[in-house]
Amino acid sequence: MPADPKRTIHLAHSPDADDAFMFWALAAGKIDTGARRYEHELADIETLNRRALNGELEVTAVSLHAYAHLADRYALLAHGASIGDRYGPRIVARTPRPADPRGALAAGGGALVAVPGELTTAFLTLKLYQPAARHVVVPFDQIEDYVTAGRADAGLLIHEGQLTYGDRGLHLWVDMGEWWYEETHGLPLPLGGNVVRRDLGAALMRDIARDLKASIQYGLRHRAEALAHAKGFSRGLDDARTDRFIGMYVNAYTIDYGPHGRRAVTELLGRAQRAGLLPGPVEVTFVEG
């Protein structure tokens, strides 16, 4: 049966400045979505990953790591990716960077790392970097406090923490995006994307992809308005750093992965599968609007 175009679509994403920026036009009614209406749900990315595992969400942001466990039920929208080009999640610690960070993270007395969730792409890259790393799961917005309090030796920071760790006196050990770039001879690090449930049908999936792409493009064309909205989700960043953070994760790759971004997704999931970090090979399906 053809999909019913007159429907309300539940769309979930993180309460972060970059997601707020890209979904602003959609939430504010700035673009024509026909008979489709969107209800936005906000939750941290690991919560969204877990809910998507249960198939609860029609459209949601997820980690690329989580997508490897969801590909049978969800397709990857070609629009809305968070991709770091020579930057990404950062391993930070109270102590200065050791001469051999990888060795310092090895098991058998190695540093305990606070991570934002085992389905995050940040965690996947940590395990690719140092499979023996010990970890403890901590909510992403509590990791800096957790490390400064001495409850973990190091922390794996996502979102705004990538820009604020120095304010807490923490030291950078490894930028996972820079490491990945060097490891792959020039690929960006795909961190998160948006997925759509396959049972919505091909026509509606394409319509949703088109709406999301239009929202991102509108925000980039009306950057000042979109930034003003996104500031409310920046968790204490000043205007300059909010602008910088959004520029890091809402860019040309966000409009569309493009060939380079798609190859990066394939490379990341392929390496993870060969390393035994995924249940099996992942066939990635992109839906374009």
- Per DSSP bridges, beta strands 112-115 and 8-13 are unpaired
Phi-psi region of 29 (alpha: psi -120 to 50; beta: other; left: phi over 0): left
User: Would you say residue 18 has pLDDT above 50?
Assistant: yes
Eight-class DSSP state of 153: S
Find the mean pLDDT for residues 20-29. 95
Contacts of 259 (CB under 8 A, 6+ apart): none
DSSP-assigned states of every residue in 76-114: EESS--EEESS---EEEESSPPPS-HHHHTSSSSPPEEE
Residues annotated as catalytic are 159
- Report yes or no: 137 and 161 within 8 Å, Cβ to Cβ: no
Predicted confidence (pLDDT) per residue in 186-229, tens digit: 999 999 999 999 999 999 999 999 999 999 999 999 999 999 99
pLDDT number for residue 6: 54
CATH topology of domain 90-183: D-Maltodextrin-Binding Protein; domain 2 (3.40.190)
pTM of the model: 0.93
Predicted confidence (pLDDT) per residue in 115-149, tens digit: 999 999 999 999 999 999 999 999 988 999 999 99
Predicted confidence (pLDDT) per residue in 75-103, tens digit: 999 999 999 999 999 999 999 999 999 99
pLDDT number for residue 2: 46
pLDDT number for residue 145: 95
Q: Which CATH number fits domain 8-84+190-287: 3.80.10.10, 3.40.190.10, 3.30.70.580, 2.60.40.10?
A: 3.40.190.10
User: Would you say residue 106 has pLDDT above 80?
Assistant: yes
In the chain, list all ranges with CATH 3.40.190.10. 8-84+190-287, 90-183
Nearest one of 183, 64, 61 to 122, comparing CA atoms: 64
Nearest one of 59, 46, 42, 45 to 199, comparing CA atoms: 59
> Across all residues in the chain, what is the average pLDDT?
93
**pLDDT band (50, 70, 90) for residue 159:** confident
Contacts of 269 (CB under 8 A, 6+ apart): 64, 67, 68, 278, 282, 284
